[in-house]
Amino acid sequence: MTKNFQDLAPALIDGLKKGAFLTVSNDNEDNTMTIGWATIGRIWNKPVLMVAVRYSRYTYNLLNNSKEFTVSIPKKGTMSEELKFCGTKSGRDFDKFKECNIKTKKAKTVDTVVLTDCKHHFECRVIYQQTMEPETLENESKERFYKDNNDYHVLFYGEILDSYEN
């Protein structure tokens, strides 16, 4: 059932604490990764979901090329092993869907998939992306998240084209 993105925003914010799945399809290849950071709101008079993806992630090139993504939030208390696997293993080395027996179906409005065992879904088209500028990041976050790797994120702002729950 399609819902207003604002109705599902609390589920996203709460779900990110345990993890959600960011899924991208490009050139007949699907990949998903676990995310714990995102922002939802309105910008440029559009509903927007912003996700952060590091350059080093396999998902980065797929998303940079496809310009579309979905975010699927598991039902409470489910998919913890799948979230762990998809957050620690690379799509370069593993077919995460096969390894975790994750079922998918075609998204309604974008050319990618959603995870069928998840409860909430957001379908997005990238309308802007921004490379992080390390010199503008406050020191506490820089020390905590980037000190040992300098692997900064690219922020992908996705216009929410559809949001719904199973």
* DSSP strand pairing (113-115 vs 46-54): unpaired
Sign of CA dihedral 94, 79, 27, 70: negative
34 pLDDT higher than 70: yes
Q: What pTM did the predictor assign?
A: 0.95
CATH code (residue 61): 2.30.110.10
pLDDT digit string, tens, across residues 119-158:
999 999 999 999 999 999 999 999 999 988 889 999 999 9
Domains in the chain: how many in total? 1
pLDDT digit string, tens, across residues 4-32:
899 999 999 999 999 999 999 998 899 99
pLDDT at 140: 96
Task: State the residue for tokens 């913890």.
Answer: 80
1 pLDDT higher than 80: no
| Best CA proximity match to 25, nearest among 112, 110, 94, 91 | 112
Domain hosting residue 161, numbered range: 5-165
